[in-house]
Structure 1
């Protein structure tokens, strides 16, 4: 049965697009080479942590959504959106393997007049230099003439109830003006506002700028956190005061590290660029270095606090609160909690954790004991470390119960805990 839309990649990017499309009455098929997410979805379960709820999945299925591992479905749609994961590889360059696989699967079945959209986060030039050749070689069609091709990077903020898919403007950059308009016509059915970029590279670079803006500013406040602690200054009060300025300042807050699916990208490191960029983005590299140091700084603070109270890290009972990368979510992608736990274990600490959204947690393939009674566990632990401020945590109550509390998020009342 033909569908209006095929979403390729049923993960953190693809599923919200499917949800928005089904809600808009668009007949949607979801394709993934991995049979596991398709089987989970057919059973009414979400295949990825921190994504859609089971009830939302069931509503999508009842609305006509069909998950499949059959690539034949890709040749029967008007629009195909590639939402493949693009993680950083070991050399810290973007791994486009899944995107290339998706492009080849689509190219073998691509029909004339289809609109192909790229939502994955990619370095500038990927749409034209990687995706376009694969689609053209595999199909015998020409992008911009026989089919439409555009980039519209995802702007998702999982769990955000204020900025939904519909209320978040969609940036679109097509290979040709006609490609842009075809993509705009599709996204106009899903979102309240469409923003037309000059081309695919401008759309791709928009995502790079947005992600790097976040990382650079988080790095700034992370450095400020270390400096303020050394100077005996309350950074959290400084931020509270600074954010009253009505212009020229946007508040960011420090933390134990940076997690999530957005990764900082330096366009100066592109291996396939047709021309040599002038210089790499030194500030982006420095920001990543600073943010990568934060788990070590948290360990240092833990050791210092225990020492000041006559205890050693070795043998200490340490309770970690919140092991996800963002509050009120089950998503653990790149959360600093795992690195912090591993380092404490190396130092001989006895680690336990509590997270209302994570019922089973492993570090280095080893299960970490989960606290059943939060207050009892905090009272028994030599040190409790708040890594994520889930809404369900009564931080004032925890501060009273805990022997020693380190708050890495500045979420506890002033004076109730040691803050980062």
Structure 2
């Protein structure tokens, strides 16, 4: 009980030293928020370049300004390191490492297990450990807890363990780390209380406490599975509407006039990022342990994964109408990131489109103001200029970044295929076609 009271006191009076493992899109905003709240924060990452960048007061993530980082570094509230022995000085630590899926679409806990191993090696006598990385229900209790208990005995006496799923939307200026309700569930009530109080002090708002780590883990999976299924539905309807010669975008607009029982989702070239294409597969995998097949989830994933191929099929048909073939055609893809206003290529459906264009020997290029080059294809982003647009047989809007000069495309592209309906209200000098 003394350990619990000691950690709680340090949280309440801001004397606790906090750690964050993994300084990416999730970990860095969390580390900065904790430092801004008044705590001393140490960020851990195996990427030396990231560590050096933060130590110099610079940001490598668009949602976090260098000024915010520099201010915390200068005042001694934020530091970064790859020396994990410093964990011995911490009172609490948050784990924000990647939890991808492998080639068999099964959970890959390599990074999480590595983080837990470092914590166990350097564990102080008392510590609060919070897992933020998205993972399958049961990970905290069935995977992480036994590893820690081998070192310290029962959780909830000197070491406390909880799960609080990250809720962050890269590139979204309206919803960032603060202002989004946070969920937390601990192995014991004391674990839940400590975690909740820490995040309440950091985010300056009440948290939603749940009865177990499993409920907290499942809640995040449900959020992203909900989106996967609904996006899969609207993508399937988009394909059908194309066959029926109906404008799916106008269909959605009409359906959206209903004030209840409907929520608009929009089609596109596929889904990407670190959440929606990945997290539901945790559920599919875990369900098999209970001899249950999540058929709807799997079908929705298949529909979404088929969209890059459908986009390329549409491109082929458009070129055929012009009596041209895909091979040797000049095609410029606008946008490479998985969503607008980010520089993230993870699971981007546009990368799959690029792969197909390579297969068909297309003379393709891309323009993305957030991604200067793509090493996999040895390509650099081309300038969006009138002569370059005019030289293309086809210009494809794949990612609808706000900062793109769409007027230049409208004025100079001969044929535009818009998978995002971004230019539907613009006057185009050439042929304009929507997904």
TM-score for the superposition, normalised by structure 2: 0.90
**Within 5 A, what are the aligned runs for 1:329-408?**
329-362=342-375, 365-408=376-419
- 2:421 aligned partner: 410
Alpha-carbon distance in structure 1 between the residues aligned to 2:398 and 2:253: 20
Shift of 1:282: 1.3
Match of 2:10 in 1: none
State whether structure 2 residue 125 is matched by structure 1 residue 109: no
* Partner secondary structure for residue 94 of structure 2: strand
The reply on whether 1:130 has 2:143 as its aligned counterpart is yes
Deviation string 1:78-110 (CA, Å, 9 cap, x unpaired) is 111111110111110111011011001101222
Mapped pair 1:119 → 2:135: no
TM-score between both structures, scaled by the size of structure 1: 0.93
The question of 1:222 aligning with 2:235 is answered yes
1:297 alignment counterpart: 310
Aligned-pair CA distance for 1:31: 1.2
State the partner residue of 1:86.
Answer: 99
225 and 326 in structure 1: CA distance in 2 versus 1, 3 angstrom threshold? same
Aligned partner of 1:144 in structure 2 is 156
Report if aligned partners of 2:371, 2:381 keep a CA contact under 8 Å in 1.
no
Q: Where does residue 186 of structure 2 map in the other structure?
A: 174
Change (3 A) 1:180 1:241: same
> Are residues 1:267 and 2:279 paired?
no
> Which residue of the partner structure matches residue 241 of structure 1?
254
Does the C-alpha gap of structure 1 residues 167 and 75 become closer, same or farther in structure 2, counting only changes over 3 Å?
same
Tell me the equivalent position of 1:282.
Answer: 295
Q: Look up the SS of the partner of 2:50 in the other structure.
A: helix
Q: 1:334 to 1:45 in 2, by over 3 A?
A: farther
Q: CA 1:373 to 1:409, structure 2 compared with 1: closer, same or farther past 3 Å?
A: closer
Shift of 1:392: 1.7
Q: Could you give the per-residue CA deviations for residues 14-46 of structure 1, whole angstroms, max 9, x where no partner exists?
A: 111111111111110011234332123223444
Q: For the Cα contact (< 8 Å) 1:112–1:141, is it kept in 2?
A: no
Q: Report the number of matched residues.
A: 412
Q: What value does the CA root-mean-square deviation take over the aligned residues?
A: 1.9
Task: Name the stretch that deviates more: 379-388 or 262-271.
Answer: 262-271
User: In the alignment, is residue 96 of structure 1 matched against residue 109 of structure 2?
Assistant: yes
